[in-house]
């Protein structure tokens, strides 16, 4: 009988903790930084991950072909909240996995059609999720447009 009461108390406390944690997540904000810059395409290179997990290098998601760009100039840089607003000097986008299978996002086909040293206007949004213990950064490619 004491064990069942003990278990019920643990379940009740865990439900209470879960509901408090969920309420905290709702209150947290995501901070964003919008970068729009003119870049030069420097080609696509194959890169292996740093080998820090058991899934490396084949299944971690960080090995594959990387499109590399050098920033020429910023068109705009805006941020919301306390997001970092530091200008970038270069930028890279992973376009394939370890086995060189290309990703299917719309911007990948635009990158495949670029020639070396093409100038491009690139718009990227960084979303910082501060609801986690470690801040998670998500990069969203909004647009890639070739400069005439």
Summarised one tens digit per residue, pLDDT across range 87-143 is 899 999 999 999 999 998 889 999 999 999 999 999 998 888 777 777 778 888 999
- The whole domain housing 75 covers 30-146
* 32-51 mean pLDDT: 93
What residues are paired with 143 via a beta bridge? 123
For residue 125, is it within any domain? yes
For residue 7, is it within any domain? no
For residue 20, is it within any domain? no
Calculate the CA dihedral of residues 81, 83, 87, 91 and round it to 10 degrees.
-130
For residue 6, is it within any domain? no
For residue 10, is it within any domain? no
For residue 2, is it within any domain? no
Assigned token pair, 21: 């944690």
Inform me whether the pLDDT recorded for 29 exceeds 60: no
Whether the Cβ atoms of residue 83 and residue 57 lie closer than 8 Å to each other: no
Percent of the chain that is helix, strand, coil (3-state, to 5): 20, 45, 35
Domain count, the chain: 1
Summarised one tens digit per residue, pLDDT across range 58-93 is 988 889 999 999 999 999 998 877 666 788 999 999
For residue 64, is it within any domain? yes
Instruction: Grade residue 50 by pLDDT with cuts at 50, 70 and 90.
Output: confident
DSSP H helical segments within 1-148, as ranges? Answer: 2-27, 106-112
In whole angstroms, how far apart are CA 45 and each of 13, 21, 37, 60, 64? Answer: 52, 42, 21, 18, 8
Q: How far apart are CA 56 and CA 139, in angstroms?
A: 22
pTM: 0.73
């Amino acid at each position: 009988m004491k064990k069942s009461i003990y278990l019920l108390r643990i379940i009740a406390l865990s439900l209470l903790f879960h509901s408090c944690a969920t309420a905290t997540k709702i209150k947290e904000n995501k901070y964003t930084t919008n970068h729009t810059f003119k870049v030069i395409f420097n080609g696509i290179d194959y890169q292996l991950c740093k080998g820090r997990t058991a899934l490396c290098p084949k299944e971690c998601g960080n090995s594959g072909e990387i499109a590399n760009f050098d920033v020429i100039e910023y068109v705009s840089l805006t941020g919301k909240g306390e997001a970092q607003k530091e200008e970038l000097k270069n930028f890279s986008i992973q376009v394939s996995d370890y086995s060189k299978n290309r990703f299917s996002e719309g911007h990948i086909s635009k990158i495949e059609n670029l020639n070396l040293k093409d100038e491009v206007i690139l718009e990227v949004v960084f979303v910082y999720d501060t609801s986690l213990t470690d801040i998670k950064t998500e990069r969203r490619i909004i647009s890639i447009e070739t400069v005439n």
